[in-house]
Structure 1
Amino acid sequence: MSVLPGKALILVENLSVPFDRRVWQECQTLRDAGWEVHVICPQGTKRDTEAEVTVDGVHILRYPLKAATGGPAGYVQEYGSALWHTLRLARKVGRVDVVHACNPPDLLFLVALYLKRQGAKFVFDQHDLCPELYLSRFDRGEDFLYRAVRALERRTYKTADVVIATNESYKDVAVKRGGKSPDDVFVVRSAPMVERFHLVPAEPELKKGKPHLLAYLGVMGPQDGVDYALRALASLRDEGGRTDWHAVFIGSGDAFDAMVALSKELKLDDQVEFTGRISDEDLLRYLSSADVCLSPDPLNPLNDVSTMNKIMEYMAMSRPIVSFELREARVSAGEAALYAPANDEPEFAKLIAHLLDSPDQRAEMGELGRARVAGPLSWENSQKALLAAYAAAVR
């Protein structure tokens, strides 16, 4: 769909750009459609460190931000600092036609309100359901802070001219809970750029002398299930009697140190390796050598309705997947994954063992996954939805 190009400002708080792959894909799509694209985001620690830079025609302004520690109070401090910097830099960018805010948090509508007074339209890109994220991360129930998070979400929906949802489950929330018209909510699925993901020659040395390599890729936060994966691997070893594998956990997050400690507590440290964040080249090496990939996100209010980027990237690399039974995991992976009952670690371990013993099934599942991300779940389809959302915003 063609859109009269204008000036767009994309706001991100929880990741730097271009490191945030979804946001960077959106930037490139808009740029290619003729939009003048500006981004405001935090500075990275090891990459994306410049305060101001233009990358491939996209103007990026970054601010220093200390990540939250110490529970909800830490997030209040982080978000307050982020809002101040974002508003400061938005003034530097000046008038825009579209302000495109990516959550979390559901606070960027405050900057959008300022820009709307100058004539901008507000596109709310809902990466996470923040009320469900709060319940899943902090285990505090529907307390005062939960009600505050719900109120901020309602205000964000009300302020938005158009909502971008990452899947149909999120769209359903925007319509039913957010009161948005279905015509104003567009599903822009996260999808890997398949040309970025390609197999390279497998490297047996990455398996550390074992016949098989298991791989996890992604964030390591309290809700991401790395602890479930580690306990499943302990079950694979202890109940399944399998030691013919090495496992690599790729990524970082605020639970990283705790997961390394748990691995040692379970006496897995001789079979489990934590790499931290690695380069794209090393990522391809590990995933090309992996026999089975793990998506251990447990069932909780957020994970059940969220699209897991790791699943999409595993499929782009033609890797078979073991997942817990989650609604959107099944929508994404289909027959490219095997599904253990929700949060059942011993069954998760049994499915890993089954795939280790089934090379033909692994290959078939990998081919099915690659076809999904190259076809119905491709970024090409998401591009059309993104441009349609912008057309609706400025109509």
Structure 2
Amino acid sequence: MTRRPQHVAIVVANLPAERDRRVIRESLSLEARGYEVTIIAPRGDRTLRTLPGSRNVRLRPYPMLLYGSGVVTFAVEFVWSFVCVAVRLAGEVLRGRAQAVQVCNPPDVYWPLALVLRLLRRPWVFDHHDLCPEILATRGGGPPGLAYRALVLFEWLTLRTASAVVATNESFRDNALRRGVPSARVTVVRNGPAADEIGPASPRAGNRHRIVYLGVLGPQDHVEGAVLAAGALTRLRGRTDWSMTIAGDGESMPALTKLVAEHGLGDVVEFAGWLDGPAVDDLLRTATVAIQPDLPTRMNDLSTMAKTVEYLGRGVPVVAADLTETRRTAGDAAVYVPTGDPAEFAAALHALMDDPAQRAEMSACGRQRFTDRLAWEHQATAYLAVWDRLLGSPAGRRRVLFQRRQSISKSSEIHSRRRPE
């Protein structure tokens, strides 16, 4: 008798499923392995019933009333998300699905549901995307208060109630160990594209250099530092042989467009908006250098920026502030500035644009690091091993299969409204 495949429900709270490229890759890998998958997430495209590019990854969306920008609105957003997720997850359980659940943060509020599922003897996996207490500290700018301590408690409860924790890097793994999670229950699964998502290298057209920023435009991302670096660069080398493309969207977009206008940078700085997979690939394969303007805060020091791996996969040299996890990811494929001051970024960009030999060495290093350890193919092996250990290898599927590039590309837009990790 054929055994019915195990069913995994994935909970995403901070953006629609079709926009979260990490969840897309996880879902397609689970499906290819033989698991059935349902994603519970905020509603995006109202016409979607299944995840684009999948055979039958079901979507169970819920409406979002508002997106938080302060402590009170964040709290209201999280309460609403909790209620919507609880109702839909209960429906999945009652229908005989959701033999296991994966929850992706932010927020860290679903631990009560973890307790219920654990009582029902169903595995609960925490996919740790963001350090929520550190995000609050970065956005708030003040000393830790009651809200910060509450988030630390919620993080502890979320980690301790999980059957397994999937961490996006070694710093997140160390954080889980400090919270008391046994090391055997923590697995590192990094962010990054699959090799099939990356097209062949494209020669740069003409003599004009392109500097690229790719990602979220939020307060914690300090994209204004990239704009101010562009201003400093005009004073170092003029405006004739380079431009900067900022690809992404977020709550800082109005302030950034105003900043560009105020500094008279409209001729060298352009905004590309959200890009889907193929457009991201096209942009990065023609870039001279990428900028990562994140400041050296505790959150940034411990986080792996998804954009970094996107850059390395296309062999784009990176200029970034000197951060622990950025060094662990990029190695010699990046030039590191001490403080993240715009003048430091401008000087490093100026030097790289005038040094094709160094750019070639950095490009080769980035591609090698991507091929050897960062590509999704490597991460999927560790990720699927977690599920095979918790649920047993699915019926009829023993090998890890990967969807073609088109499956991911046409279903996704790069990065989340907040920093995906």
Question: With structure 2 as the length reference, what TM-score do the two structures score?
Answer: 0.86
2:39·2:60 contact (CA, 8 Å) conserved in 1?
Answer: yes
Q: Give the Cα separation in 2 of the matches to 1:258 and 1:194.
A: 35
Tell me which residue corresponds to 1:222: 219
Partner of 1:371: 368
1:216 partner letter: Y
CA displacement at 1:116 relative to structure 2: 2.8
Deviations 1:173-202 (A, max 9, x none): 0001x1011111111111211211224645
Q: Is the 8 A contact 2:289 2:317 kept in 1?
A: yes
Relative to structure 1, is the Cα distance of residues 257 and 199 closer, same or farther in structure 2, using a 3 angstrom cutoff? farther
Aligned residue number for residue 180 of structure 1 = 181
Partner Cα separation in structure 1 for residue 127 and residue 10 of structure 2: 10
User: What is the correspondence of 1:195-274 to structure 2 with a 5 Å cutoff?
Assistant: 195-199=196-200, 201=202, 204=205, 211-238=208-235, 240-243=236-239, 244-274=241-271
Q: Distance in 2 between matches of 1:42 and 1:276?
A: 21
Which residue identity lines up with residue 121 of structure 1 in the other structure?
A: P
> What letter corresponds to residue 161 of structure 1 in structure 2?
S
- Report Cα offsets for 1:100-122 as digits up to 9, x if no partner: 10101001223333333332111
Match status 1:159 vs 2:155: no
Distance apart, 1:378 and its partner CA: 2.2
Deviates further, 275-284 or 158-167: 275-284
Using the TM superposition, give the Cα deviation of residue 369 of structure 1 relative to its aligned residue in structure 2, in angstroms: 0.8
1:199–1:284 Cα contact (<8 Å) kept? no
The amino acid that maps onto 1:7 is: H
Name the counterpart of 2:17.
17
C-alpha root-mean-square deviation of aligned residues, in Å? 1.9
Residue 147 of structure 2 aligns with which residue?
145
Aligned residue for 1:39? 39
Aligned match of 2:413:
none
User: Any conservation in 2 of the 1:200–1:284 contact (CA below 8 Å)?
Assistant: no
- For 2:90 and 2:148, locate their aligned partners in 1 and report how far apart those are by CA, in whole Å: 31
Q: Which residue of 2 aligns with 1:99?
A: 101
Q: Which residue of 1 aligns with 2:333?
A: 336
Secondary structure, counterpart of 1:30 in structure 2: helix
| 1:76 equivalent in structure 2 | 75
Distance in structure 2 (CA, Å) of the matches to 1:70 and 1:354: 38
Which range is displaced more, 216-225 or 265-274? 265-274
Q: Is the 8 A contact 2:319 2:336 kept in 1?
A: yes
Q: Distance in 2 between matches of 1:326 and 1:66?
A: 36
1:90 counterpart residue number:
89
CA–CA separation in structure 1 for the residues paired with 2:26 and 2:279:
25
Cα deviation code 1:298-326 (max 9, x no counterpart):
11111101111111001111111111100
- Contact in 2 for aligned 1:131/1:146 (Cα 8 Å): yes
Q: Which residue of 2 aligns with 1:309?
A: 306
Stretches of structure 1 lacking an aligned partner (at least 5 in a row): none
The residue number in structure 1 matching 2:412 is: none
Q: 1:151 is aligned with what amino acid?
A: L
Most deviating of 269-278 and 282-291: 282-291
Question: How far off its partner does 1:66 sit?
Answer: 3.8
Which amino acid in structure 1 is aligned with residue 61 of structure 2? Answer: R
User: What amino acid is the match of 2:191?
Assistant: S
CA distance in 2, matches of 1:166, 1:69: 24
Give the 3 Å change call, closer, same or farther, for CA 70–18 of structure 1 in structure 2: closer
Describe the superposition over 1:368-391 as per-residue Cα deviations: whole angstroms up to 9, x where unpaired: 111111112222221121122224
- Tell me the amino acid that sits aligned with residue 144 of structure 1: L
Report the Cα distance in structure 2 between the residues aligned to 1:392 and 1:146, rounded to whole angstroms: 34
Are 1:286 and 2:283 an aligned pair?
yes
Shift in Å, 1:69: 4.2
Q: What SS is found at the alignment partner of 2:312? A: helix
Find the aligned partners of 2:7 and 2:48 in 1 and give their Cα distance: 21
Task: Give 1:30 deviation, angstroms.
Answer: 1.4
Q: Which residue of the partner structure matches residue 399 of structure 2? A: none
Displacement of 1:130: 0.9
Give the conservation status (yes or no) of the 8 Å contact 1:9–1:40.
yes
Distance 1:316 1:180, change over 3 A: same
Contact persistence 2:195–2:377 (CA under 8 A): no
CA deviation vs aligned residue, 1:223-249 (integer Å, no higher than 9, x gap): 1120111111111122x2432311110
- How far apart in 2 are the matches of 1:278 and 1:175? 36
How far apart, CA to CA, are the structure 1 residues paired with 2:147 and 2:177?
23
Letter of the 2:86 counterpart: L
Q: Distance in 2 between matches of 1:278 and 1:128?
A: 22
Contact 2:126–2:158 (Cα < 8 Å) also in 1: yes
Q: Does 1:26 align with 2:26?
A: yes
Residue 324 of structure 1 aligns with which residue?
Answer: 321
Counterparts of 1:171 and 1:11, CA distance in 2: 21
> What is the CA-CA distance between 1:255 and the residue it aligns to?
1.1
Higher-RCO chain (CA-CA 8 Å, sequence separation at least 6): 2
Is 1:51–1:61's contact at 8 Å kept on the other side of the alignment? no
